[in-house]
A and B are shown apart, each in its own frame.
Chain A
C-alpha cells in the first residue's frame, strides 16, 4: 500500500498542477511547463536509509487556472476541504486502499514562476512526507497534459483495483486455509471484517476445525502457526469447548475422518484425558480396531481410523509399562508366525492402556 501511495503521489501532484484542465476542453489550451522536484521521507526511517527519489519531472499546467489544485484523481483519493488564496492552495485528502490513507497538503507560489509545498500522508501507522518544489521553465499545450493525466488516472485505478483484488484473494485464502494469523490486524494487510466473520464461523464447523486442530504451536518465538489456541484467541472463543461439541457429534454420527483428525487422544470433558477410555473415539477403537492383527485387519471403513488411532498411540510419550516392550517370545530366531492371540491382546493393551 505504501508503494502504491508513493506511486500515486506524483500523479496526484500532476493533477494538482493540471486541475484547471477539468474546465471545458479546447482544441489547444495554453499552459505553463513546470519542472517539479519531490522529496519523500518517512518517519522512523533509520538514519542513513533514504526513500527512493524520483528525478525532476516536467509537468504541463493550464495557465490562469482558478480551479482547486487537486481534483478527485482516480476515484481512490478524494480531495476535500480545499482552500485557495491568491498565492496558495491547501487541502485534505483521503485515499481508499489497504490500509486506507489520509493526509493533507499545501502549496505556496513564490511569484508566478515557482512554488514550494508539502504533502503529509498517514498510511496505516506510517507517516510519510513529500516536499514539493517547482519552477516554471516554459510554455506547453495543456490539452496534451489533460490526456496524459487521464491516462495516469486510468493506470492508477487499474493498479489500485489489482491490489485490491490481490488483498481480497489473500484474505479469502486465509479463510480457506484457516490461517488466523493472516487475518490479524497486524498481518501487514488489512482484511475486511467479513473475512474474520467467515473464519470464525468456519472454525465452529467440522470442516474448518479439522484444518486447525492438528496444527502444532510455532517453534520459533514471534511466529504463529495458526493452531487452535491462536485461532480461538483470534475469534474470542474457547477451542476446547468447540472440540467437545464437534467431537461429541462426530462420535454419535461415527464421522470417522473428523474423529481421527481432531478428536483422538482428547478427553470427552475437554483437555487431556486421565484414562484412554475417557478419550473421544475410544469406544469405536475398542470395538473396531483393538485385537485386530495386521493379517486380519479391521473392516474396510474403519481402517484409516484404526491406523490413525495406532499412529496417535505411537506418538504418546513412553511410560514405564511401555519402556521395555517385547522380550516374551520363545528363544528362537524367527518363528514362522506371530502368536496372533497374544499379539492381539498385547496390542489391545498397548492401544488402550488397560
Chain B
C-alpha cells in the first residue's frame, strides 16, 4: 500500500477509535473503568460483562442471597397459594421485616414478593423453613443449586443473607444467578413491584415498600435486589431495560450504591448506544 493511502487508512482507524474511546469491544474482558464504584462490581450489557472490578473475588452477599432463595423456592414444588405457617425463628427475625408473628399463616406468593421487594427476613425464613423443613436443609439446597449454576466461588450458610463466617459470593456468580432467576416469571414479576401487602389468614394486612430506590426514579429500572450488612456493606443487583438493551449491575460493598448504580447504568446505555 502506498504511504499516502496507509496514512489515510490510519487516520480513519484513529477516528473510529476516538469515537469508541473508553468503550471496550464486546469480546474483550471487562475492564475496571470505575475503580471507586464498589469493592466488587460487574456491569453487563445484554448479557455481556462490560466493566468489572474484582468480579471473581468472594465477598459477603447480604440479602442478595435472597435471589438464590427465591430461585430454590420456585424450583422446588412451588405452590403460590400454599399456606405458610410462620415458625418461631421466622417470627423473631431481625433486620428488615414485615412484622409477622409466630404461628401466623400467609400465602407463599405474598411472602415471596415481600421477601424480594422489601427484603423481609421474617417472610424469607418462613418460606425457607416451610420448603425444606429447616433453614439448614434449605441452605443445603441453595448450595446444590449454586453448584449446578456454576457459581463456583459462592457458598451459603444462611437462607436470608445474615453474615456468616464462610458465606460468600462474587459479582460474576451473582450475575449468572440473576440471569437464571429472571427466566422465572414469578421472580421477574415480583422484583418489579414498588410496594405490596401481605394478608395473613388471620386478617392482618402488612404493607411494605421496595428497598430499591432505583424503581420509579431511574428510567427503565425493573428492580431485582438490595442488600446490606456489616460484612457486606451496601450491595445491589439492578436490572434496567430500555428498548432492546438490558443492563444488569451487581455492586458489592458500594458506599454510594444508588448514585453509583445510576451513573454506571447511564454509562452502560451510552456505551450500548455508541456500540
Measured CB to CB, the residues of A under 8 A from B are: 2, 42, 124-126, 177, 179, 181-182, 186-189, 214-216, 218-220, 222-227, 293-295, 297, 307, 310-311, 313-318, 322, 324-338, 343, 346-347, 350
Contact = CB atoms under 8 A, between A and B. Distances in A.
5 contacts: A125-B3, A181-B11, A326-B253, A331-B230, A334-B211
Return the 9 tightest CB-CB contacts between A and B, nearest first: A326-B233, A188-B8, A294-B258, A332-B95, A334-B119, A325-B255, A334-B96, A331-B230, A334-B63
Given A326-B254, A332-B94, A334-B228, A314 B11 contact: no
Contact of B34 (A124, A314, A338): A314
Given A333-B96, A336-B211, 17 more contacts: A125-B3, A188-B5, A215-B21, A216-B21, A218-B14, A223-B13, A225-B18, A227-B18, A295-B217, A311-B267, A315-B34, A318-B35, A322-B36, A329-B229, A330-B95, A331-B229, A334-B228
A307 B34 CA distance: 14
B37 A327 contact: no
B99 to A, nearest CB: 11
A331 B260 contact: no
Given A295-B217, A333-B228, A336-B211, A325 B253 contact: yes
Nearest to A319: B36
A316 B63 contact: no
A80 B102 CA distance: 107
Interface residues of B, number: 60
A332 B60 CA distance: 12
Given A223-B14, A225-B18, A333-B121, A327 B233 contact: yes
B4 A318 contact: no
A333 B119 contact: yes
A225 B10 CA distance: 10
A307 B269 CA distance: 14
Nearest to A325: B255
Contacts of A337: 211
B42 to A, nearest CB: 14
Contacts of B22: 216
Given A186-B7, A327-B231, A333-B161, A314 B263 contact: yes
B224 to A, nearest CB: 13
Contacts of A327: 230-231, 233, 253
B143 to A, nearest CB: 18
Interface of B: 2-5, 7-11, 13-15, 17-18, 21-22, 33-39, 62-63, 65, 94-96, 118-119, 121, 160-163, 211, 213, 217, 226-234, 253-256, 258-260, 262-264, 266-267
B39 A324 contact: yes
Residue of B226, B254, B258 with highest tally of chain A CB at under 10 A: B258
For the residues of A in contact with B, the DSSP-based class is loop
Contacts of B96: 332-336
Nearest to A306: B259
A317 B233 CA distance: 20
Contact of B95 (A124, A307, A333, A350): A333
A324 B255 CA distance: 9
A97 to B, nearest CB: 13
Contacts of A187: 7-8, 11
B233 A325 contact: yes
Contacts of B227: 333-334
A293 B258 CA distance: 8
A315 B121 contact: no
A179 B18 contact: yes
A151 B180 CA distance: 69
B18 A326 contact: no
B227 to A, nearest CB: 6
B267 to A, nearest CB: 7
Contacts of A325: 38-39, 233, 253-255
Nearest to B226: A334
A28 to B, nearest CB: 45
Contact of A335 (B14, B36, B95, B233): B95
Nearest to B231: A327
Contact of A350 (B226, B228, B255): B255
Contact of B4 (A124, A311, A313): A124
Nearest to A331: B230
A124 B118 CA distance: 71
Contacts of A318: 35-36
A218 B121 contact: no
Residue of A187, A314, A325, A327 with highest tally of chain B CB at under 10 A: A314
B213 A295 contact: yes
Given A125-B3, A346-B255, A316 B36 contact: yes
Nearest to A326: B233
Given A310-B263, A334-B121, A350-B256, A182 B39 contact: no
Contact of A126 (B4, B7, B11, B263): B4
Contacts of B34: 311, 314-315
Contacts of A224: 10-11, 14
